[in-house]
Structure 1
């Protein structure tokens, strides 16, 4: 049994258990990530099933599939397609698959799920959805999937675009 005297530290100072209030984050939780060109995008955390870093040789190529698709992967016993998100969005960069691991974001909506291979993960951030603006300066291939964006600094040079996972999942591009 522990007595009160055993809770003393060093110069007989009592151990203080100060309870600090947690900061209430503003906005909604989003995953930030990058395409091969360096374009930074975000997805709402609520639409993400999992973030994986499989070895590229764990992605099984499927013959005669769409060129947007890298192949399939096993996600907790379920086989899902993995697509090159940059190629899907006609991004100017080319995804390097010749590396030990490849970041893949599994997005889902109403039991539909697909893995999106990207260049790198940026991290999780609480983003204020009230500061979203209408997306501008988008290519025709990105416009159907990015409707809103944040300006990350006052001079408006850094922009974070919000990817709509529902529009990505429902896209007719997968049939091509």
Structure 2
């Protein structure tokens, strides 16, 4: 079960034209913005990655606005774990579980998640907050990561798991995000 005290969020490479051509991009980006807002509401550590932004472009504006006050970590390897600043930030966050979101599920999300698992972290892929250009590549990556020990969750599922109690101070505001 996810807990606020032990969980963080990673946002992987939601940039440029690619972010607009992944499967169901509008719904995906909307869900991801909700996830980031919920993570901020719950005061989870948030790490934000950008793959080679000089070539691929910056993170989409809707998400950049939601991530305000957080600086992106630039990377050139497909896995975020190939970037020392990211690995340092992961360790500094002092959580044991990472919600992972972003694009593309079968490349950068997959490789980052696999290396986090290999480092001993628990990984939960937020299924409606990851995407690829094709559904088949997304499904393949989710299935392969699940076989390797990652869990698959959804925006609503992880949010209610983290909140736990309808009497929580954050419940009403979180509920307004997903309605």
**Given the two structures, how large is their TM-score scaled by the length of structure 1?**
0.24
Considering only CA atoms, is the larger Rg found in Structure 1 or Structure 2? 1
**Given the two structures, how large is their TM-score scaled by the length of structure 2?**
0.24
| Greater fraction helix | 2
| Greater fraction strand | 1
